[in-house]
Structure formats: C-alpha cells, structure tokens
Amino acid sequence: MFHLRLTTRLAAGLLAATALSGAAWAETTLTAVMHSGLRVLDPVMTTAHITRDHAYMIYDVLIAQDDKFQPQPQMADWTVSDDKLTYTFTLRDGLKFHDGAPVTAADAVASLERWAKKDAGGQIIMDKTASLTATDDKTITWTLKEPFVPMLDVLSKQSALPPFIMPARVAATSVDENITDYTGSGPFRFVEAEFQPGVSVTYEKNPDYVPRSEPANWMAGGKTVKVDKVKWITMPDVQTAANALMSGEIDYIEQMQVDLLPLLEGDDNVKVEVREPTGMQTMVRMNFLHPPFDNPKVRQAALKAISQEPVLAAMIGNPQYYQICGAVLGCGTPLGSETGADSLTKGGGIEEAKTLLKDSGYDGTPVVIMQPTDMVALQAQPGVIAQMLRDAGFTVELQPMDWQTLVTRRASQAAPAEGGWNMFITNWMVPEISNPLGNPMLNGRGNEAWFGWPTDEAAETLKTEFIAAQTPEEQKAVAEKVQTHALDNVLLVPLGQYTLPQARRANIQNMIGSPVPVFWNIEKTDG
C-alpha cells in the first residue's frame, strides 16, 4: 500500500508539473498511463513491450509493415536483384540523428549487426549472409548466400525486436551490455533529464524529423507529430488511473482492466475501444537450464496440468475479450493449428499430468514462478497456474515482484535458488508469434535463444524446412509440424488469446489502430 500511495503521489506531482509547464509555455502535452513502467532502455537487450514502445518513439527503422503486413519504405527504399541474393537499401534524404549528425549507411549496418545477434529472425538472416556493407553514405548492400524469401518480412516486423537504427558508436556496444547513449533519429526525443525509472518518462517532439509523405498506416507511412510532448507515467492501480482519466488529469490508458470498464460507462468525455483486434497470446515459459524443467517429462506433466479456461477467466473475466486457443502460431492466423492442444483447450489432463510427473522421477524440487504485481495483463495467471501445478503434485514457490524487476531477472541463468527462476508468464502480440521464423518462443539456439534457452535442433531444422516451402500449402504443412513439436517439447504452453481495451479522453483523436501503441499522428484538441 505504501508503494501505491507513493507512486500515486509521484504521479500527481508529475501531473501538476505538466499542467504548470503547459500553462507557462503553451505546450501541448499528452499524458499516458502505459501497461508498465519503463526501466530498460536498450531495445536489443529485452523483448519487453514497454521497451519496444519506447524505442518506436525515439528510433526509426529502414522498412516497416502496414496494416496488410506488407513491407513499406520508411528510412529507406530498396531493390532486389534478379537472383534474389542482393538487397540494396537507399536512405532517403533528410535523415538526422537527434544530435544533428546525418544518418549514414554505416550507422544502419552497425545497428543491423547488433540487432541480428539477438533477434531470432535476424540470426537466421545472418546464417545466410555473405556480406552486409555500407557501399556509400546512403547505400546499404546486403548480399545473401542463398535466397531467403521472408527477408523483407523479417526486417519490417513490428516486434519483438525490431531492427531500430542507432548511431554506429552506440551500436558498437556489446549485446551483453546496455547502451548508455539514447540518441535516435525518430519522431520524438528522449528527455533524459526528466526520466525517473519505473515512474515517469518524457518525450519531446523532434523538430528535425522529416516524415514520409504517405499517410500513416500501422508502423508505415508519415510519422507526423502533432503534440509538443508525450509523458508516460506509472499508475499500478487501474482504478486510480480510471479516475484520473475521467477527471482529465491524464489523457490515455493503454490497458484498461475489463472488470473496471463500468467505471467509465456514461462518461461522454471518455472513449473505450479495442485498439487492434488481433489481440495478444498469453503463455507459460519454462527454464530449460535447471531442474525440474530440464527434464522433458516434467515439462509435459506441467503442460497436461494446465487448462486455459480458468486462467483466462481469472485474467480477463469477460469472455467477450478472450478466446480459448491452443495454436502456438495464433488462432485466426494463416498458419494457426490447434493440433495436440486438447488438454489445454478442453481440460481433463490432470491425471495424465500426475502419471507423467511420477514417471519423471520428480523429487519435489520447488518450481519458482515469477509473479508480476503491477501488470493488468499478467497479474492473475501465475496464481492460477501455481494451483494447477500443485494439484498435479508439483511443489511451487510464487515470488512476487514488479514487471521491470521480472524483465531484468528473467535474463539471469543462475539457479532458481540463487536468484534465477523456473517459470514465468508472458504475452505476445499475435502478429509477433504468427510465423515460425519470428516467433521468439520457437528459437532453439541455446544461449542465443529467448529467455529459457532451449537447445532444440529439431526446432531449427523445421525453420529451414519452412524457409524452403514454396507455396502457402507447403508452409501450412510445416507449420503443423512446428505446432506438434513445440507442444511435444513444451517450448511454451499457450494459454489463449485476449484483448484489453484502451481508454482515452474524447479530445485525443486520430490514434493509429496498430498493435503497437504509437503517438505520432495523434491530435489533442481543446476540451
């Protein structure tokens, strides 16, 4: 309670300061409550959505997806050679970093090389890369050893690790170290002096940013900034945030708790809406490095113990906003399949779970589940999962913490008893996980894989098979194999899909309905 009161007082102070600043300088400031506080500022070091959202504010990308999932020029146009081996990207005019230096091809190359060391799709591209060079200040030449059909799709993706462009001096930072220089070239500038980790972050309009001429469309098109500042503040208590929204103290809530929606009903000054209908997938991730989940039978026992309905009901409550779905690649996607997911979607796997656990030789090793306490979309799942595992015979230790602490801790490979972990729950946008090449949960490259670090050669072989598929039908057949393997080896436990509505003041207009919450194109009118 003390933390909540302190956070609320800090937020109130920040709001007051914002109001005074606006009065003095006639600035237009949009104040938003995001799904989490921001602590990690390096978009290569984590896949946390709040860090990605931060990165989209201050950085730009070479190419970007529109709402048809089609790559479009952003910082650069491109051509592809007839043999599909050479991709030439040409930077557009007017690109400047926030320190006034021009963006060069050398900056892009260094950024792409750092990004590719961490991103699942980037790793695959580098496996197939003959050379990546800056042939002059504006030209990037990327030559492959063999054709890679999804090349542009991977480079234009919105998440989990988009290839943001930084100055070469920043991109020279090891992928094992966080950057300390936050110079970007994006539509906003990070106001480092006003940054309070986990509490508040401020962005100001970049006056030197030259938007593209095309209309804004998801992450593509013109990023035209129409407010002077955007301020993100942390309010862990959603009811407090809802009250602040209704009073006009804040302008926007990224994720509105469904059972609190009645608070906003009848207020003509507030609009509640689903920003983007494809929604999110929630899931369990286990640690493959340490007992007990280094044993595949134990992982299988855990999967069989879990059913989606109780998790989604506790998490969301209203079935209007969730969908039972066992597809690793997402339901409603071209490659989605629910093969092998019956115990998850229909329940009834508890007895099989008990048998598998007994046969595995499980010795009662505590399962350490990290439980975030300040995330609407992640608070409920760990407690429900813990009880299901206990019912199957597991010893479970729930460890509560804020989300940013969890984001930091999940990167640790230490034993659970020494500050590591066994399990956590995470969420991905459906577009992020809808393709085997980009789905971070399907990376089987051990220490180079996503947190949990599975070493799974079969998973990597299936990606190669997917790349070789020539038709949508062939891709679908490989995706079916991916579904089966992912559940057999328990690379993840899909818990279903959901949407959380956003809420905004009625005078906040022209928000882009992209999966990623972005703040260009938005207008804040009087009222």
pLDDT in tens, the chain (527 residues): 434 443 444 444 544 444 444 444 468 999 999 998 999 999 999 888 999 999 999 999 999 999 888 999 999 999 999 999 999 999 999 999 999 999 999 999 999 999 999 998 899 999 999 999 999 999 999 999 999 988 999 999 987 799 999 999 999 999 999 999 999 999 999 999 999 998 999 999 999 999 999 999 999 999 999 999 999 999 988 899 999 999 999 999 999 989 899 989 889 999 999 987 788 999 999 999 999 999 999 999 999 999 999 999 999 989 999 999 999 999 988 999 999 999 999 999 999 999 999 999 999 999 999 999 988 889 999 999 999 999 999 999 999 999 889 989 999 999 999 999 999 999 998 988 999 988 999 999 999 999 999 999 999 999 999 988 988 999 999 999 999 999 999 999 999 999 989 999 999 999 998 889 999 999 998 86
- Quick one: fold of 280-498? Dipeptide-binding Protein; domain 3 (3.10.105)
Amino acid letter, residue 103: V
Provide the pLDDT for residue 514: 87
Locate CATH 3.10.105.10 in the chain: 280-498
- Residue 92 identity: R
Q: What is the C-alpha to C-alpha distance for residues 253 and 260, in angstroms, rounded to an integer?
A: 12
Give pLDDT, residue 17: 46
Q: pTM of this prediction? A: 0.86
- Helix boundaries (H) for 26-101: 49-58
User: What is the structure's pLDDT at 120?
Assistant: 86
Query: Phi and psi at residue 181, in whole multiples of 5°?
Result: -115, 120
Q: For the chain, what's the residue count?
A: 527
In sequence order, what DSSP letters do the residues of 169-198 get, joined into one string? HHHTS-TTS--------SSEEE-GGG-BTT
Q: 251 — phi, psi (to 5°)?
A: -110, -20
- In the DSSP assignment, the letter for residue 220 is B
Instruction: State how far the alpha carbon of 29 is from the alpha carbons of 14, 20, 229, 273, 527, in Å.
Output: 12, 11, 5, 22, 13
Instruction: Give ∠ CA 337-152-472 in degrees, rounded to 5.
Output: 35
pLDDT the model gives residue 527: 62
Give the residue among 444, 442, 420 at the shortest CA–CA distance from 367.
420
Judge whether 412 and 419 are in contact, CB under 8 Å.
Answer: yes
Tell whether domain 44-186 is in CATH 3.30.365.10.
Answer: no
Write the secondary structure of 373-437 as one string of H (helix), E (strand) and C (coil).
CCCCCCCCHHHHHHHHHHHHCCCEEEEEECHHHHHHHCCCCCCHHHCCCCEEEEEEEHHHHCCCC
Note if the bond before 43 is cis, omega within 30 degrees: no
- Residue 26 has a pLDDT of 61
- Burial classification of residue 345, based on how many CB atoms lie within 10 Å of its CB (0-12 exposed, 13-18 middle, 19 or more buried): middle
**Alpha-carbon Rg for the chain in angstroms:** 23
Which residue intervals of the chain bear CATH 3.90.76.10?
A: 44-186
Rounded Cα gap, residues 440 and 245, in angstroms? 35
Using CA atoms of 77, 83, 86, 89 in order, give the dihedral in degrees to the nearest 10: 0
pLDDT confidence of residue 278 = 81
d(CA 278, CA 430): 6
Residue 20: per-residue pLDDT: 43
